[in-house]
Structure 1
């Protein structure tokens, strides 16, 4: 029954994200406060602009990640297959949805076993950190990594989602030492991500001190999982409470800045409301190392790998246009550009 419940929930999540308005009300990523200063003389050949980067000890063709979305249902199997094929073709990293379902039953395990479709790019397995208070530990985490042939493991933090979810797990007490133990014992790097409410610099420092290798901020401004769970819930109390919290979370921009101010050298993945290559360019200029896209790819992933590939190509093209527009030829130059305005304040001198 538990297995059936997880499978059903995963399908409901997909359908709600495809058909309903699940973004927080009046909540943005904050990236609209960043703009670039056009360079009329870029002194760059557009065809020479490079997006290559390194992540999890692998070379990627672009600084992009297919963010954790789904797994554990028949519909999810097709989606993850299409995402994996496209990620391999375009040289993007890919993160799985919560892989706990693998350990709780055999049904739809194939939805997580995507290495055959993405043999060379980084794959990130995924487990809710709260499960470390419900009988899971380093052994189970390592099993997830081994089964999925993953290069890393996400531990996701989703307290607001769990409290609105009818089936939610709510004991988040003393998770940090358990996260530290997983980091010590796992054979691959551990990253931590939120699910759309954001991670600030203070929390990020605690996580890094516990051994976490990189932070995926997953800030507010995109999908609100409290809204998703509200649409699933049959509990009037939870549905009403979700309305009160539909503006909750730290905007993605503020997360990136806060984490980088506290942890200068720790890789930061910017996800949460990322829609275009221009969004990616803005996030990189304020400190992001990788950019995660989720719902932007979801509709295409229900169609075909080719459809996903086209969306990915568009995002890459938009990032290159932004770089061309300010006259930078690679990601290092983009990170260090002064041709940017933040909240109306120009970084240009003179």
Structure 2
């Protein structure tokens, strides 16, 4: 059953190491250039963004995590409360199970009950155009996310490996629903050419969700009887930093950078400096939800406080100025991008 699979996903993410083994996000190759004369007041720094249809107090998105099982109800409630109280974006997991099994609908109803004004993202798979209207209605979504997960589908025993017609289905979804549509990967990144195709199909936002954070091949490996395929493709994907640069430089629509973003690192700052409009975190928020509001508030506080200090050190008073900060791209990330035809030098003196 879908519901049982979703519960397994939650428990595996909570209890096992599902991070990439040898592949990183690539953000360690991004060096921001310090300003000794920032010429701004830290207290005046503005972290807000309005590019997703609502004014958010921070560029932090809690990206799609939970859905499809009764155990998700309490988690979704905790996430909804923090999204509402801190005015940040919240994405939910696939809604297919709740549409197919109405008894699971309350695991999503709890979101709007606790976050009436927050920016909420619904979620369906690329081939599920017939579910789009119901998905928006169930959550009263502000944005409908379409998840792309060919690697996960390839590894899980019950996976759907017929990806024909994805683009046509996405076009149909964009025409059918009365809210903007976001296309999002699920941990293996989006390349420039696919981003361009998605923009042409009508999506209004893209979440790259690149490699280096949670490996869904790893998650499915723990579920499989034969672990050969999961272990073979555990580190598959485009690193998040690379995918962010490729997509930001190829489309005109807002971009979310996610995949391996942690409030303990400076990945978020580097992602926005590379041009992302927001950054998404999933696993840290999931673990915080199990601990409660104190842990979730600490996560948001650390995210905002560290971002504010870094912006001060770069002389950036808002997110748009942060996007124009000077930085150096080095190492494997530079090699990858230059091999793909992207100029990394222009970032150094913007």
TM-score by length of 2: 0.92
Number of positions where the alignment pairs a residue of Structure 1 with one of Structure 2: 335
1:18 maps to 2:10: no
Shift in CA distance, 205/39, structure 1 to aligned 2, threshold 3 Å: same
Following TM superposition, the consecutive aligned residue runs of length 4 or more in structure 1 with deviations greater than 4 angstroms are: 344-350
Q: Indicate the RMSD between aligned Cα atoms, in angstroms.
A: 1.7
Query: Using the alignment, how far apart are the partners of 1:250 and 1:224 within structure 2?
Result: 12
Which of 196, 205, 209 aligns to 1:218? It is 209
Deviation at 1:107, TM superposition (A): 2.9
Deviation at 1:158, TM superposition (A): 0.5
> Counterpart of 1:311?
299
Deviation at 1:349, TM superposition (A): 5.1
In structure 2, list runs of 5 or more residues that go unmatched.
332-344
Q: Is the 8 A contact 2:32 2:325 kept in 1?
A: no
Secondary structure in 2 aligned to 1:103?
Answer: helix
Q: Is the 8 A contact 1:86 1:306 kept in 2?
A: no
Query: Using the alignment, how far apart are the partners of 1:63 and 1:124 within structure 2?
Result: 15
Which of 110, 115, 119 aligns to 2:116? It is 119
Query: Using the alignment, how far apart are the partners of 1:278 and 1:88 within structure 2?
Result: 25
> Counterpart of 2:129?
137
Secondary structure in 1 aligned to 2:206?
Answer: strand
Which of 170, 178, 200 aligns to 2:169? It is 178
Shift in CA distance, 12/44, structure 1 to aligned 2, threshold 3 Å: same
Deviation at 1:347, TM superposition (A): 5.0
Secondary structure in 2 aligned to 1:107?
Answer: helix
In structure 1, list runs of 5 or more residues that go unmatched.
none
Shift in CA distance, 291/23, structure 1 to aligned 2, threshold 3 Å: same
> Counterpart of 2:137?
146
> Counterpart of 1:41?
37
1:1-350 pair list within 5 angstroms: 5-113=1-109, 114-129=111-126, 132=127, 136-138=128-130, 140-234=131-225, 236=226, 239-263=227-251, 265-276=252-263, 278-338=266-326, 340-343=327-330
95-104 vs 268-277, which deviates more? 268-277
Q: Deviations over 1:219-268 (max 9, x none)?
A: 0000010110110112x2xx2011111221000111111112211x2111
Q: Is the 8 A contact 1:153 1:189 kept in 2?
A: yes
